[in-house]
C-alpha cells in the first residue's frame, strides 16, 4: 500500500490538508469567541456546530449532482472551487469591532 508515486503524492497532499484544516478549525473558533457577545456565545457555537454538519452533506451532494448530471469529475471539482469562493466572499462581510 502506498508504494507508487501517485499514492505517495496523495498521502502527502492529505497530510498537508489535515494540517491546514486543523488550523482553520482552531482559528474559526477563536474568531467566533471574539465576534460573539457573552450572552449569545452559546447560540453561536450551536450554529457553528450545525453549519459544519450541514455543509459536509450539502457540499458532497452538490459535487455528486454536478458529477452525475454533467458526467465529468472536473465538473464536481468546479463545484468545490465555487463553494470555496462563496465561503471566501462571505468572510469579506465579517468585521471585528475594536474593543478596549
Q: How far is CA 2 from CA 7, 8, 10, 12, in A?
A: 5, 6, 9, 11
pLDDT at 42: 92
pLDDT at 98: 65
Q: Are residues 44 and 2 in the same domain?
A: no
Whole-number Å distance between alpha carbons of 66 and 77: 9
What's the maximum distance between 2 C-alpha atoms anywhere in the chain?
56
User: Whats the size of the chain, residue-wise?
Assistant: 100
Residue 2 pLDDT level (bands cut at 50, 70, 90): confident
Q: Are residues 28 and 2 in the same domain?
A: yes
Q: Are residues 69 and 82 in the same domain?
A: yes
The count of structural domains within the chain is 2
Does this model's pTM top 0.95? My answer is no
Q: Are residues 21 and 58 in the same domain?
A: no
Domain around 56: 40-100
pLDDT at 91: 85
pLDDT digits (tens, 9 = 90+) for 4-35: 999 999 999 999 999 988 888 888 888 888 88
Amino acid at each position: 500500500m502506498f508504494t507508487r508515486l501517485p499514492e505517495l503524492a496523495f498521502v502527502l497532499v492529505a497530510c498537508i490538508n489535515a494540517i491546514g484544516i486543523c488550523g482553520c478549525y482552531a482559528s474559526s473558533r477563536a474568531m467566533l469567541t471574539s465576534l460573539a457577545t457573552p450572552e449569545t456565545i452559546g447560540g453561536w457555537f450551536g450554529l457553528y456546530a450545525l453549519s459544519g454538519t450541514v455543509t459536509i452533506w450539502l457540499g458532497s451532494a452538490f459535487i455528486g449532482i454536478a458529477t452525475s448530471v454533467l458526467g465529468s469529475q472536473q465538473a464536481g471539482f468546479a463545484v468545490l472551487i465555487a463553494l470555496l469562493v462563496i465561503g471566501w466572499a462571505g468572510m469579506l462581510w465579517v468585521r471585528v469591532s475594536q474593543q478596549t
